Structure 1
Amino acid sequence: MAKFGKKYQEAAKLVEAGKAYDLVEAVEVVKKTATAKFDETVDVAVRLGVNPKYADQQVRGAVVLPHGTGKTKKVLVFAKGDKVAEAEAAGADYVGSDEFVTKIKEGWFDFDVTVATPDMMGVVGRLGRILGPRGLMPNPKLGTVTMDLTKAVKEIKAGKVEYRTDKAGNVHVPIGKASFESEKLVQNLQTLLDTLVKVKPAAAKGQYMRNITISTTMGPAVTVNTNFKAVKAE
């Protein structure tokens, strides 16, 4: 078993074993555990009562966090005609067509999100085997296959994050940086959890929110009370 460093052990002492904290308290404790020399990311892990083996129990989508994640994402847009200018005006980092297919096939990946207009999906489809496994394939469910490039690009730049269940039914999402004010982290966390509740699959049985933890990049996990509705974000 890996031995945790001294800083981690000191941070772990701040977390009360077996306690499920409310949102505000959990965020405050997590901020105290951030002792690294860099600005650590605050991550949320939610275990849902779903069986992702079944298509009708998969949870996947995207949500715009009110205060962003503290990381600016680079956006690649596949578009042509007047949509090129629209994407550029919205703040896309790269806009084009076949030339980016070639670059990506040669190993270029200097982007975080791919957006495409529906008429470009034939072009993007040639990259399915490369983009798919990396989670970079545009998807209508995530709002990344759309004619409204202005909205798509601006939401991504503002702090839109994707969520999806892994094979065990867990969702992992970054909600900001340890340097964020507590209130902003709480509101981001509340927005994410409220969204997950709204998209609960009808086929999911039993308790839906099984476990919620938040942690910094290098810190211990803090358990959040699954009855988080008691906290209202202002």
Structure 2
Amino acid sequence: MARLTKKQKEAQAKIEKDKVYSLTEASALIKEITNTKFDASVDLAVRLGVDPRKANQMVRGVVSLPHGTGKDVKVLALVTPDKEAEAKEAGADYVGLDEYLDKIKGGWTDVDVIITMPSVMGKLGPLGRVLGPRGLMPNPKTGTVTMDVAKAVTEVKAGKIDFKVDKTGIVHAAIGKASFSAEKIQENANELLTTLMKLKPTAAKGVYVKSIYMSSTMSPSIAVDTKIG
């Protein structure tokens, strides 16, 4: 096991053992225990009482964080020529179609989100092996396959994120930066958790939210109270 640095020991000491913190407390504490030289990402890991192997217990959704993620999200708009102008005006970083499809075939995936139109999805099918594992395949359920390309680009740039429970039953999501105020971290986290609560599958029995942990890049985790709202 790797030895803890002095800063890591100091951060660990600020977290009371076996204590479960309120969302407000955790949002303030995460700023205290983050000691990176860069603006660290703040993340939530929510363990759900679902079996993601069963289709009727899959949890997936989108949420617009009120204060954004703090990250400059790179957006690729794969659109037909008649939609290029509106995609560019909305702030898409890359706009086009065939030339970017060829780049992706060659292994290029230097973007965070891909937005496209229903008529283009057929061309993206063969690229599933490249885009799927990276979480880049557009999906109508997350609003990334739409005719209103401008709106989709604007929302993603403003802080709309999509999330999906992984095979171990955990939802991981970045909810901001350590430079955010504690209030902004708390409000972003609350928005994600409130959205998750609304998505509880009817087939899921027992406790839905089993545990919540907040952490930042290279920080220890803080246990957060699962009683939301």
What TM-score results when the alignment is normalised by the length of structure 1?
0.95
**Superposed displacement of residue 159, structure 1:** 0.8
Cα RMSD for the two superposed structures:
1.0
**Superposed displacement of residue 189, structure 1:** 0.4
Partner of 1:232: none
- Contact kept in structure 2, 1:80 and 1:96, CA below 8 Å: yes
2:19 and 2:41 mapped to 1: Cα distance? 23
1:2-41 per-residue CA deviation (whole Å, 9 max, x = no partner) reads 3222211110111111111111111111110011111111
Could you tell me which amino acid in structure 2 is paired with residue 20 of structure 1?
V
2:5 and 2:166 mapped to 1: Cα distance? 29
What secondary structure, in the 3-state scheme, does the structure 2 residue paired with 1:228 have?
A: coil
Could you tell me which amino acid in structure 1 is paired with residue 51 of structure 2?
N
What secondary structure, in the 3-state scheme, does the structure 2 residue paired with 1:175 have?
A: strand
Say whether 1:33 aligns with 2:33: yes
What TM-score results when the alignment is normalised by the length of structure 2?
0.97
Say whether 1:145 aligns with 2:152: no
1:217 and 1:81 mapped to 2: Cα distance? 40
1:42 and 1:200 mapped to 2: Cα distance? 24
Partner of 1:58: 58
2:166 and 2:115 mapped to 1: Cα distance? 23
1:145 and 1:36 mapped to 2: Cα distance? 37
Superposed counterparts of 1:191-230, under 5 Å = 191-229=191-229
Partner of 1:82: 82
Partner of 2:156: 156
1:29-68 per-residue CA deviation (whole Å, 9 max, x = no partner) reads 1110011111111110000000101011111121110001
Could you tell me which amino acid in structure 1 is paired with residue 70 of structure 2?
G
- Contact kept in structure 2, 1:78 and 1:120, CA below 8 Å: yes
Say whether 1:97 aligns with 2:107: no
2:210 and 2:180 mapped to 1: Cα distance? 27
Partner of 1:116: 116
**Superposed displacement of residue 128, structure 1:** 1.3
Moved over 3 A (4+): none
1:95 and 1:39 mapped to 2: Cα distance? 29
Q: Which runs of 5+ in 1 are unaligned?
A: 230-234
The size of the alignment, in residue pairs, is 229
Q: Which runs of 5+ in 2 are unaligned?
A: none
